[in-house]
């Protein structure tokens, strides 16, 4: 779906989260100052990759890898390496990791995860905090 106004455009797509119980959406906002994409709380998907394409800023949830991710994964799981790959492949300028689980946002773990993401994604990586503001555009 697309909603447009004077000088802006929002594209909305279904993204995987807690199916079949929830219908979840990702968003792409295009305006004069740039492009902002937001995943909500979703896992890897072609729809989210398309919403994120060449975004100035992508805000995306991040979960810590489970010990047996292949067996335990759900469609809403987004590991740090998968998120770095999504941002790289979509050519995102700034990636903001959000909705951080307490087990990933700890001293030592945080630094290791950021280091592993930086090996894959070469853009700006921001570790989110509540009430954080991120400017888009030159101002």
Residue with more model confidence, 102 or 69? 102
> Residue 17: pLDDT band by 50, 70, 90 thresholds?
confident
Q: Higher-confidence residue: 96 or 16? A: 96
**Where do we find the tokens 């592993």?**
116
What order of strands is seen across the sheet that includes strand 34-38? Answer: 2-5, 8-15, 24-31, 34-38, 57-61, 94-98, 124-127
Tokens of 39: 């995943």
> Alpha-carbon distance 112 to 17, whole Å?
26
| CB-based contacts of 131-137 (< 8 A; 24+ apart in sequence) | 132/96, 134/57, 134/94, 134/96, 136/33, 136/34, 136/35, 136/36, 136/56, 136/57, 137/32, 137/33, 137/34, 137/56
pLDDT of 105 reads 79
Instruction: Say what the pLDDT of residue 68 is.
Output: 47
33-44 pLDDT per residue, tens = 999 999 877 777
Which residue, among 39, 40, 61, has the nearest Cα to 51 in the 3D structure?
Answer: 39
In the prediction, which pLDDT does 124 show?
A: 96
Q: What pLDDT was estimated at residue 69?
A: 46
């Amino acid at each position: 779906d697309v909603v447009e106004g004077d000088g802006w455009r929002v594209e909305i797509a279904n993204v995987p989260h807690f199916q079949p119980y929830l219908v979840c959406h990702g968003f792409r906002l295009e305006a004069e100052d740039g492009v902002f994409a937001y995943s909500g709380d979703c896992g890897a998907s072609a729809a989210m990759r398309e919403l994120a394409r060449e975004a100035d800023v992508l805000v995306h949830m991040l979960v810590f890898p489970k010990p047996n991710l292949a067996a335990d994964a759900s469609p809403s799981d987004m590991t740090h390496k998968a998120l770095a790959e999504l941002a790289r492949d979509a050519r995102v300028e700034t990636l903001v990791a959000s909705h951080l689980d307490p087990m990933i946002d700890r001293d030592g773990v945080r630094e290791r995860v950021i280091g592993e993401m930086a090996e894959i994604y070469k853009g700006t990586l921001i570790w989110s905090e509540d009430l954080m503001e991120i400017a888009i555009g030159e101002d």
